[in-house]
Structure 1
Amino acid sequence: MSESSGLILVTGVSGFVGSAVARALAGRGCRVRGLVRASSSPVNLVDFPGELVEGDVRDSDAMESALRGVGTLFHVAADYRLWAPDPEEIVRNNLAGTQSVMRAALKTGVERIVYTSSVATLKPSDAGAVDERAAAAPSEAIGAYKRSKVVAERLVEQMVAREGLPAMIVQPSTPIGPRDVRPTPTGRIIVEAANGRMPAYLDSGLNLVHVDDVARGHLLALEKGAVGQRYILGGQDVMLGDMLAEIAVRMGRRPPRLRLPRAPLMPLAWVNEGLARLSGKRDPFLTLDSLRMARHRMFFSSEKAEQELGYIARPWQEAMGDAIDWFRQAGMIR
């Protein structure tokens, strides 16, 4: 790629998508600088293929320092939580981080930016898969995380239109695969199901994609994307029951047969959230927002990225196999 002679900064390289993007760039011969926080997990930083600098995306001085000498920026870092004791903290983190990064990029003269948004900024439709035209307003987003991604994406679009920010936007659907170190909410479902701890499920659906295909889509957006445009980077639409059946087959277990209604689970989700607030421990597995989201099938179309960028995603079953293999190696699956 033409940017291989310049320095590229990737934020969030200790995370799931960020680590995949950094490795994809290094595989193309690019010079990569990765931004990490002091508290970042070291798992995905072992044998990092480039230079590491420490900083917080909300710190404008740290961002300007990290961007010195950088021609291309991939802003991947985000507060990816579907629940927090103070939900507005997620909104503040993602909006402030995006604003700080983009302001620093303008100030330091970055030439090209790929901003990692999410299909969380789109309105789902029970009529079928939606595309980039289904942009949601903040009031239409379910939960703090989705609202945070909407307001951050709108900020980027405004800076493109008003200040000439040279950014294009990619919208990953639901990545799965190796290096899901946290793990993500979907990764937690995979781990729980693989360990035989999901005897029942909700009638919902999602769009699954291999994280390395998402990373390759980021590079394609840089090479062929247009400033100000949004590109969904998805895979295939999958019913949750089919996803759990695939996991069961790979683990030699019987797939769950019991399909649960959402309404009776609302009180349990409320209790789970209350216990999580009191204990201060890990995010609850079942939350009110996750149940509200499950009312819709999160199905999306990547046709625009396929036609304009040449984007292709492998079958979701391959992604699931890689995810299970990695979780097993990491000791999360027995």
Structure 2
Amino acid sequence: MKILVTGSSGYLGARLCHALLRRGHSVRALVRRTSDVSSLPPVGESFELAYGDVTDYCSLTEACSGCEIVFHAAALVEPWLPDPSKFVTVNVGGLKNVLKAVEETKSVQRVIYTSSFFALGSTDGSVANEDQVHNERFFCTEYERSKAAADKIAMNAASEGVPIVLLYPGVIYGPGKLTSGNMVAKLIIERFSGRLPGYIGSGNDKCSFSHVDDVVDGHIAAMEKGRLGERYLLTGENASFKLVFDMAALITGTNKPSFSIPLWAIDAYGWLSVLVSRITGKLPVISPPSVNVLRHQWAYSCDKAKLELGYNPRSLREGLEEILTWLKDLGLIHY
């Protein structure tokens, strides 16, 4: 099939393009003129680049032309930006443009939309499934707010008959690009470099960790077997970052952190990082919104995806063994 992938130069999108090509599909990757395309396959008979942006409707209609499947994986994934309006422009406006372009392109049979666990909201003591709807009483980040708003648009489109499948990955990690979407790798680098000498908070946080290649497989399964209009959580093992650091120490034979850094101290560091960012223009690794996320729990069940899509997430230990070896081979950590 002819498949369009938005967000193709990103952490998830690039690996999705490679996986689709391995399965014999023809792939068109939507990229900006300024995008780093080094992680994408070489242009050839089965792979082409379409220059444009999800915020540019005309470029989307051209990119969709002749395609049967659209993977909408493009998103602005940051815990903090100096201009928060960009989250709405890309994550909400971009989805609206994709849906409009798909409606105009009669060849598109299915849209696979990459949402986020943030769109469903925190769980705080429970393990949620696809029935959870964001309560909208509070948002830890502007990214979360934008994904919750986009989720409403996607669900409304599904109710109106748009052939869309909604996917909700957890905290994606694994080898690949060191973007903000690969926060686990960034925190491991901070931990092994000594810049993050202790645990983050008391260990009461909980996230659902999803290996990037499992999420890619889940996307392809959703294309092949997903029911139109349905939501699927592509999550994994629910664990705290304390457990991640302990497991990393066990795998590498290094010492576990001997103390915990209280969230108020990390929050203060985050505010300082934001001030530095405004001067240097370099986005911070830790910011106050990311600390807000750690004050809550985000635990989810992927049983529906396992049952209907054959989704089979690997264990956190197996995934961490891979990412630690990858970071060591790159010379980014030493043990």
Q: Same fold (TM over 0.5)?
A: yes
* 1:5-27 C-alpha deviation (Å, 9 max, x unpaired): x2011111211111122222122
Are the equivalent residues in 1 in contact too, given 2:4–2:29 (CA < 8 A)?
yes
258-267 or 77-86, which moves further after superposition? Answer: 258-267
Deviation of the 1:288 alpha carbon: 1.2
Return closer, same or farther for 1:266/1:122 CA change in 2, 3 Å cut-off: same
Displacement after TM superposition at 1:119 (Å): 0.3
Q: Secondary structure at the match of 1:43?
A: coil
Letter in 1 for 2:276: L
Say how many residue pairs are matched. Answer: 327
Distance verdict in 2 for CA 1:325–1:47, change over 3 Å: farther
* Aligned twin of 1:60: 57
Does 2:248 correspond to 1:253?
no
**CA contact 1:174–1:208 (8 Å) conserved in 2:** yes
Alignment partner, residue 17 of structure 1? 12
Query: In the alignment, what sits opposite 1:295?
Result: 295
Is contact 1:180-1:187 (8 Å) kept? no
SS of 1:142's equivalent? coil
Post-superposition shift, 1:212?
A: 0.6
Aligned match of 1:75: 72
1:195-238 Cα shifts (integer Å, max 9, x gaps):
34321122222211211110110111112211221100011112
Deviations 1:63-84 (A, max 9, x none): 1111111001110111111110
| Structure 2 contact 4–71 (Cα < 8 Å) conserved | yes
8 Å CA contact 1:193–1:248 kept in 2: the answer is no
Equivalent residue, structure 2, for 1:326: 326
Show the counterpart of 1:35: 30
SS of residue paired to 2:266: helix
Instruction: Answer whether contact 1:82 1:289 (CA < 8 A) is retained.
Output: yes
Instruction: Decide which of 144, 157, 175 is 2:172's aligned counterpart.
Output: 175
1:194 aligned counterpart, secondary structure: helix
Task: Extract structure 1 runs of 4+ deviating beyond 4 A.
Answer: none
Query: SS of 1:115's equivalent?
Result: strand
Deviations 1:34-91 (A, max 9, x none): 1111222233125467222221111111111111110011101111111101222222
Q: CA RMSD in A?
A: 1.9
Amino acid of the structure 2 residue aligned with 1:52: L
Matched, 1:211 2:206: no
Aligned-partner Cα distance in 2 for 1:267–1:195 = 20
- How far apart, in 2, do the equivalents of 1:156 and 1:124 lie? 20
Q: Secondary structure at the match of 1:181?
A: coil
Equivalent residue runs for 1:1-334 within 5 Å:
6-47=1-42, 50-109=47-106, 110-162=108-160, 164-183=161-180, 184-201=182-199, 202=201, 203=203, 204-281=205-282, 283-334=283-334
State the Cα distance separating 1:92 from its structure 2 match: 2.1
Aligned position for 1:3: none
Residue type of the alignment partner of 1:26? L
The alpha carbon displacement at 1:142 in A equals: 1.7
**Contact 2:111 2:163 survives alignment (8 Å):** yes
Alpha-carbon displacement from aligned partner over 1:309-334 (angstroms, at most 9, x marks no partner): 22111112222222233334444335
Distance 1:46 1:112, change over 3 A: closer
In the aligned structure 1, how far is the partner of 2:136 from the partner of 2:85?
13
CA contact (8 A) 1:168 1:225 kept: yes
Q: For the residues of structure 2 that align with 1:46 and 1:331, how far apart are their CA atoms?
A: 24
Change in Cα spacing, 1:329 to 1:67, as seen in structure 2 (3 Å) is farther
Letter of the structure 1 residue corresponding to residue 9 of structure 2: S
Question: After the TM superposition, which of the residue ranges 72-81 and 82-91 deviates more from structure 2?
Answer: 82-91
The whole-number CA distance in structure 1 between the counterparts of 2:119 and 2:189 is: 26
- Contact persistence 2:127–2:300 (CA under 8 A): yes
TM-score (norm 1): 0.92
CA contact (8 A) 2:55 2:89 kept: no
Could you tell me which amino acid in structure 1 is paired with residue 3 of structure 2?
I
- Return 258-267 or 304-313, whichever deviates more: 258-267
C-alpha separation between the residues in 1 aligned to 2:322 and 2:233?
22
Q: Alignment partner of 2:216: what SS?
A: helix
Q: Is the 8 A contact 2:198 2:258 kept in 1?
A: yes
Q: Partners in 2 of 1:263 and 1:104 — Cα distance?
A: 45
2:183, 2:211 → 1: CA distance? Answer: 15
Asked if structure 2 preserves the Cα contact closer than 8 Å seen for 1:117 and 1:171, the reply is: yes
